[in-house]
Each structure stands twice: as structure tokens, then as C-alpha cells.
Chain A
Amino acid sequence: MSEFIEWQALGNVLLFGLIVGAGLPTLFALGVRSLAGPGARGEDGQVSLGRKVVAYACFGAVVLAVVGAVAYIAAGGH
């Protein structure tokens, strides 16, 4: 079968697909949880600075990944 399936390429797609394709949504979810999850709003009804920093770090990483992907497409690397 190795003649018909490029196992190594497939393994890479699966591995990095999981890291990026499942990892980024998870990061985004952690950001959402940090901003709006249980206990996010303190007694004064505001989201604490620490939680905001965590959330925007998560969103920032996701945005960076998207920008990186666009650059990658533009560079003709696909």
C-alpha cells in the first residue's frame, strides 16, 4: 500500500492538523472562558485585569496564526 499512500505526509498532516486545527479553537475557547466563564466577573461586575490579559493573549495567538496563514498563502507555499 505504501506505493499508493504517502504515509509520512499523511502522518504529518494528521499530527500538525491536530495541533493547529484543534489547538487554535481550544485556545480561542480558553480565551472565551477567561472573559465570560464562571467567576469571570468579580463583585464589581468587571472582568479582572488578569483574566483580560489571559483572554487577549489567547485571541492574539489565534490572530497571529491567521496572519501567518495568509502570509503563507501569499508566499505561494501551498
Chain B
Amino acid sequence: MEPVTEPLLLAVVVLTALAFDFTNGFHDTGNAMATSIATRALKPKQAVLLSASLNLVGAFLSLTVAATIAKGIVDAGIITLDVVLAGLVGGIVWNLVTWLFGIPSSSSHALIGGVVGAALAAAGTSGVLWSGLAAKVLIPALIAPLVAIFVGSVGTRLVMHFTRDVPEDQNDRMFRWGQIGSASLVSLAHGTNDAQKSMGIILLALIAADAVPEDSGVPFWVILSCALAMALGTYLGGWRVIRTLGKGLVELESRQGMAAETSSAAVILLSSHFGYSLSTTHVATGSILGSGVGKKGAAVRWSVAGRMFMAWLITVPAAGLVGAAAYGLDVLVGGTAGSYVVFAVLVAVSLGIWLYSRREPVGHHNVNDEWEPEADNESIVAESVVDHDMELLTVPADREHDARGEQR
């Protein structure tokens, strides 16, 4: 590569990695804070501020950053800056699309999907380690929610049992504190885990471009910018995802919220401890579902949950398609100019998705509104019967007479 254009290409990759980091924070706020917002343990703005601060702290807390991306899933030999860039584009676009539909989906799976797609486009099927992909990504995506549903439902059931005859206001008062504590832990763990992924990518790019030596640690500006990008994303809050997690799956009260978040924190930390990493998003969603399963008489909207599971199954192929397309475009234009074109397209697509989202904005003001399932006609009819004064629906006798008169 020419020495003049190389720094620019590096800058583009770093910027894109920070953008991915931003969408990661943005997309995953709900994992930690959706239940606290739904049960009103925290005001929406307080919740995202707390979560953002803890993500920021978490990013600095532990620095075991490794310059790897999709290790054991993609052949390390074919990872070039162009593949990384295309993979990031796939991850960002999938994050934004799922956010638009309010679907929580794993940011790390989206990134892996994007890189796998780009690797396929770059080197064909031999570039991907398929059994690694199945064992580390696809199967855990099925297992994580099941484990979390189980743990969350057992916890909720026990909590409900022991507090069944405690006055509701006392329960709410104390469990809200428990909820805030456990949600904070999830935020902290997220900041540590996920900010490091972006740091790793940027370090990888810096090494590939010979900007730092191969055995270099993470430069401070990388840590700082990754932490800030994620915190900013978290603070802006993926309100659409928060709304689905907090209101869409289960009607939550603080006892369930506390049990769900504790289950999430425990399963996330234990799974990485035992070297069987499960996605934060899958675990958090499963725990919330579990808190509905564990409460007698609680309604769980399995149709909403089913849509999520579908999204998780297509995360890798969908992000992969985008990643492959981005890589194709990069090669088609050719040279470093290709990377700039890919970056420009990414900016345009992101802007388009954002503009589209403004048609029906979801923000801190309406995040807790009643959930209205779109396709549930019966409940809408039932609602209108309840809401309307039946007398207004009947035609008064004299007007009925008039109408008949006109008809004649």
C-alpha cells in the first residue's frame, strides 16, 4: 500500500470500529436496564445514565484485550483490513435493522456474522471453520435462552413464594434496590466484555497497518475512545429494544425484575468463567422470559419471543450477507478507494435507517406505554368495547327515524 493513503484507510477502519462499538452500546442498553425502566425502579433517563457510566467504568476495569477477531471461527490468515471493515459493516447494519424493529439481538454474533460473510467472499468456504461456527455461535444461541429461562424462572418462583404475603409496597420498595444493584452488575460486565471486542479490533487494525508493533498493548486513546463510544451509545439508549424487553415479553413487577437481572448477571459471568461464553442479549432475554414463566398467572407473549428467536437464528447469515456484499463492493471498486466507498455507503444506509425510524420514534417519553400487539385483532375489539361508552354506539330512536325517512 502507498504510505500516503494507508493512514486514511486505517482511520476509516478505526472509525467504523468505533461506530460498531456505539451501536453495541446503543443496542444492549436494554439487556441491563429494560426491567428497571419497566418496573419504574429508575426513571428512563436515570437508568440510561447509570448504565452508560457503568459501561464506561467497565471498559477501564479490566484490560485483557486480545488482538483477535472471530478466533477459531474464521481462518486467521485471511483477516485483512478489508475483511475487518466489511465485517464491521455487516455487524453495524444488522444492529441497526434489528434496532429498527425493536428486536434485541447479539452484537457479537452480528459482528461474527459480518466477518464470516466477508471471509466467505474473500477466500471461499475454506476460510471459515464451520465446526467452530456451530459450536461457538449457532448452538450457544439456542442454549443460552434455555439456560436463562430455567434459572430465571426458578429464581422468580422462589422469590414469589417467600414474599407472597409481604405487602406490595414493601416488596416494591426493597426489590427496586435489588433490581438496581443487579442491573448495574450486568452493565458493568457488558462494558468490560464488549468494549474490549472493539479495542481488540482496533489493535488488530493498528498492527496490520504497522502503526504499532506486533506485541503492543492497547494505546490509551483506543481504550478511551472505545469506552466513550460505548457509553455514548448506551446513554442515547436503544429505546425500541428497551421497550420490547421491558414491556413486550412479560408484564414485569420489581420482584421479577430483580430475579431476572440477577439470573442474567450470574449466567453471563459464570458462562465466561467456564469458557462457554453466552451472548449477553440471549441470556438477558431468556431471564426476562423466565421471570414470566416463574410467576403464576403471568402472561408471556411467546409470539414476540418467537420473533426474537427467529432473528437470532438469522443473525449470522443476514449479517454475513451484508458483510459479503460490503467486501464485494470493496473489491469491485478496488484499492483503497473501495474502502472509502464502502464507508460512504455505510454512512448513507445508517442515515436512511435513522430517518426511517423517525416516522415512529420511541424515546424515554413513551418507552413504557402499553404494549399493543399488531396482529392481535381480538384484543383490539375487546379494548374498543371496554373503552367506548356503549350508549354512544347505539343510534338514538329519533335519528334512526330520520335516517329511515331519508332512505325513503
A residues whose Cβ falls under 8 Å from a Cβ of B: 3-6, 9-10, 12-14, 16-18, 20-26, 28-33, 35-38, 62-63, 66, 69-70, 72-78
Contacts and interface: CB of A to CB of B under 8 A. Distances in A.
B174 A26 contact: no
B273 A77 contact: yes
B238 interface: no
Contacts of B263: 17, 21-22, 25
A28 B165 contact: no
A76 B163 CA distance: 36
Contacts of B189: 69, 73, 78
B178 interface: yes
A29 B158 contact: yes
Interface residues of B, number: 55
Interface of B: 58, 61-64, 131, 134-135, 139, 143, 147, 150-152, 154-156, 158-159, 161-163, 165-167, 170-171, 174-175, 178, 181-182, 185, 188-189, 192-193, 255, 258-259, 262-267, 269-276, 278
A5 B139 CA distance: 7
Contact of A73 (B152, B159, B165, B192): B192
B151 A26 contact: no
Given A9-B275, A76-B62, A26 B270 contact: no
Top 7 closest pairs, chain A to chain B, by CB: A21-B266, A22-B155, A36-B170, A9-B276, A21-B263, A29-B162, A76-B62
B134 A10 contact: no
A31 B61 CA distance: 31
Given A33-B166, A62-B178, A70-B185, A13 B271 contact: yes
Contacts of A62: 178, 181
B267 A17 contact: yes
